[in-house]
Chain A
Amino acid sequence: MTELWDAIVEAVRLIVSLDPEVMEIARRSLAISATSCTIAILICLPLGSLIHFRRFPGKKLLISVIQTLFSLPTVTVGIIVFVLFRRVGPLGELGLLHTPVVMVIGQAMLITPVMLGLIISALSGVDRAVSETATSLGASRFQMMVVTVREARYAIMTAVIMGFGRAISEVGLSMMIGGNIAGFTRTITTAMLLETSRGDIELAMALGIILILIALVINVALNRLQQK
């Protein structure tokens, strides 16, 4: 257990001294996950609304499939993205393998099912009376949808927090398509894996603590938005 205490001390030291390497990978983790989360929101909010508000055959099946994809392993997405973006793959010409850009794409793919499913669930949770009242007061279809989304904003924000959490904590995908290249695609989670495999347990744990702290700060910020 002394390792845990040493790790906490090390984490504090790294933060306070603004250790450049740690700052660099922390900033990268944050940038990549926040970007992929934003992209996912831009896809999932309209798409989720579309799926929720429309009737179409196979809707229940689609939602089941989306929820099944919650369990999609990060390495599975990693393999798919790897096969797509390697030089001999269909998107190989872009030369994006082992770059932060492909990590953003991969993470966005990873968290889209979760965010989509939770947003649909959030919208379903809104009382029917809300949309019916809006329509009866003369709201257009679009205005009705906006009102419902507003009503569900608390749960939708939870979906966003969930998606971000999944993105920043994943390691399998980042390792496979990012390559853990020092100074370029190394993130907190991949660095933790490396340091553990090197036997540098304290540093790995310290990085883990820093990751949790970042998640805490983000969550507090998003929570404030949630309460508004």
Chain B
Amino acid sequence: MRKATCYVSVWVALVSLLVMAIGCGGQGAEGAGLLQPKGRLRLATTTSLYDTGLWGYLEPIFEEKYGVELDVLYAGTGIALEYGRGGDVDVITIHSKTREQQFVAEGYGVERVPFAYNYFLIVGPEDDPAGIKGMTPEDAFKKLAETGTASFVSRGDDSGTHGKEKAIWKSAGYDDYEAISNAGAWYIEAGSGMGPTLLMASEKQGYTLSDMGTFLSYQGKIDLVPIVDQGSILLNVYSAIACKQSKSLDMATNLVNFLVLPEIQELIGNYGTSQYDVRLFTPCAGAEPQS
């Protein structure tokens, strides 16, 4: 019996250690802790806002101001909308105007609130093998499709950026996106967020469409340069929407309002400027920017 008692007591000790570890896990400050997700607000953000580190920067400020834990989920626009519809997140910040408007129109979102914008650009290897530098986005895409030798890495994940890419193809005259995605080995669907897609494009020394913010914040990790950066179609507007299915609609609305507060708008505008000498995001306080 001695051995059994020894066994049991060791297990009891281990288990109680675990319980303590879990109990003290996380921030420890909130009493609710891990078992009840009270006092936590869930945000699904487009990958380009996350990869730039903007949310990492704003998160503590918001948490301090409202006394909640902000959980930031890294998701493409497609998944973010799905989470929002199901009420698995309380707020979404994405960049796909038509889908945002549809989300609100279908009754899942309270209101679409644009809060910042920047531009997309086509980036690629310095030697520009497809010779598309300085062209309009549509002409550049046309040339890529016609020559079919230089690699193009698509997000391929139903994200806002992916949506913009499809819009450019359409504007360039390629209505059938299926045809393009199956056009050949040169068209690569990464199925990943913006950061990983840039890394892949750099590895393959190919082209890709990226938002300016993520591209800049990945300097030093990738071997790509801006190739095409002029064109009204490249406007990239980020909006925040509070999800009606949320159980914390008040706090969700707080987050949306937080993003358009003058002092936060200023922070957003200045974010990264000391590091990159250029704005990563231009604030637009709830109004749709004109390109």
CB of B247 closer than 8 Å to a CB of A = yes
User: A185 to chain B: which residues have CB within 8 Å?
Assistant: 71
Give complex CA distance A126, B64 in Å. 60
CB of A30 closer than 8 Å to a CB of B = yes
CB distance from B14 to the nearest CB of A (A): 7
Supposing A35-B22, A100-B22, A228-B3 touch, asked if A179 and B247 sit within 8 A by C-beta, the answer is no
CB of A87 closer than 8 Å to a CB of B = yes
Give complex CA distance A99, B37 in Å. 7
**In the complex, which of the residues B14, B22, B221, B247 contacts A199, with contact meaning CB atoms closer than 8 Å?**
B221
CB of A180 closer than 8 Å to a CB of B = yes
CB of B283 closer than 8 Å to a CB of A = no
**In the complex, which of the residues B3, B18, B245 contacts A87, with contact meaning CB atoms closer than 8 Å?**
B245
Contact A86 B86 (CB under 8 A): yes
Q: Using C-beta atoms within 8 Å of the partner chain, give the interface range for chain B.
A: 35 or more
Residue of A whose beta carbon sits closest to that of B42: A98
**In the complex, which of the residues A31, A32, A88 contacts B87, with contact meaning CB atoms closer than 8 Å?**
A88
Contact A197 B3 (CB under 8 A): no
A residues 58-92 near B (Cβ < 8 Å) are: 86-88
A residues 8-33 near B (Cβ < 8 Å) are: 27-28, 30-32
CB of B193 closer than 8 Å to a CB of A = yes
Q: Max chain A CB contacts within 10 Å: which of B10, B37, B192, B222?
A: B37
User: A96 to chain B: which residues have CB within 8 Å?
Assistant: 37
User: A35 to chain B: which residues have CB within 8 Å?
Assistant: 18, 22
Tally of contact residues, A, Cβ under 8 A: 31
**In the complex, which of the residues B35, B72, B86 contacts A88, with contact meaning CB atoms closer than 8 Å?**
B86
**In the complex, which of the residues B37, B56, B74, B193 contacts A95, with contact meaning CB atoms closer than 8 Å?**
B37
Would you give the 0/1 interface string for B40-68, flagging 1 where the beta carbon is closer than 8 Å to chain A?
10100000000100001000000000000
**In the complex, which of the residues A97, A98, A101, A197 contacts B193, with contact meaning CB atoms closer than 8 Å?**
A197
Main secondary structure of the interface of B (DSSP, over half): mixed
Supposing A31-B25, A87-B245, A179-B71 touch, asked if A198 and B195 sit within 8 A by C-beta, the answer is yes
Contact B25 A28 (CB under 8 A): yes
Main secondary structure of the interface of A (DSSP, over half): loop
CB of B88 closer than 8 Å to a CB of A = yes
Contact A199 B71 (CB under 8 A): no
Give complex CA distance A199, B40 in Å. 30
User: B192 to chain A: which residues have CB within 8 Å?
Assistant: 197
Supposing A35-B18, A182-B72, A225-B10 touch, asked if A100 and B25 sit within 8 A by C-beta, the answer is yes
- 23 A-B pairs with C-beta separation under 8 A: A28-B26, A32-B22, A34-B18, A38-B18, A86-B86, A96-B37, A98-B42, A98-B73, A100-B22, A101-B34, A179-B71, A180-B74, A181-B71, A181-B72, A182-B56, A194-B74, A197-B195, A199-B199, A199-B218, A199-B221, A225-B10, A228-B3, A228-B7
Which residues of A come within 8 Å of B, CB atoms? 27-28, 30-32, 34-35, 38, 86-88, 95-101, 179-185, 194, 197-199, 225, 228
Listed from nearest, the 9 A-B pairs whose CB atoms lie closest are A199-B221, A197-B196, A31-B21, A87-B87, A181-B71, A88-B86, A31-B22, A179-B73, A34-B18
Which residues of B come within 8 Å of A, CB atoms? 3, 6-7, 10, 14-15, 18, 21-22, 25-27, 34-35, 37, 40, 42, 51, 56, 69, 71-74, 86-88, 192-193, 195-196, 199, 218, 221-222, 245, 247
